[in-house]
Amino acid sequence: MVDKDTSSAGEIVPAEKTGTISRRQFFTGVGGLGVGIVLGGTLFNGLLLPDEVIAIPASQGYLLVDSKKCQGCNTCMMACSLTHHGVQSLSLSRIQVIQDPFAKFPDDKYIAQCRQCADPKCVTACPTGAMHVDTETGVRTVDVAKCIGCQECVYACEFNVSRAGWNFEEKHAQKCDLCLNTPFMDAEGGPGGQQACVAACPTGAISFVSEIPVQSDAGYEVNLRDEGWAALGYPIDDEGKVSPAEAALAE
Contacts of 127 (CB under 8 A, 6+ apart): 148, 150, 152
CB of 169 to other proteins, least distance (A): 6
Q: How many CA atoms lie within 13 A of 91 on its CB side?
A: 6
- Give residues 71-90 in contact with other proteins (rule: CB under 8 A): 71-75, 78-79, 81-83, 85-90
225-244 positions binding other proteins, by CB under 8 A: 225-226, 228-229, 231-235, 240-243
CA dihedral over 46, 48, 53, 54, signed as positive or negative? negative
Binding mask 43-72 for other proteins (x = CB under 8 A): -------------------------xxxxx
Residues of this chain, 158-217, that bind other proteins according to CB under 8 A: 159-162, 165-166, 168-169, 171, 184-186, 196, 199-205
Q: Where does residue 31 rank: exposed (0-12), middle (13-18), buried (19+ CB within 10 A)?
A: exposed
**Is-contact 64 207, C-beta < 8 A?**
yes
User: Which residues within the stretch 96-155 sit at the binding site for other proteins (CB under 8 A)?
Assistant: 96, 98-106, 108-109, 112, 149, 151, 154-155
Q: How many residues bind other proteins (CB under 8 A)?
A: 76
Shortest CB 130 distance to other proteins, Å = 16
The nearer residue to other proteins, 53 or 121, going by C-beta atoms, is 121
The residues in 6-45 that bind other proteins, with binding defined as CB under 8 A, are: none
Cα 194 to chain center, whole Å? 15
User: Do 74 and 37 meet the contact criterion of CB atoms below 8 Å apart?
Assistant: no
Instruction: Tell me which residue of 145, 65, 139 sits closest to 106, measured CA to CA.
Output: 65
Least Å distance, CB 109 to other proteins, is 7
In this structure, which amino acid lies at residue 185? M
User: Smallest gap, in angstroms, from Cβ of residue 22 to other proteins?
Assistant: 37
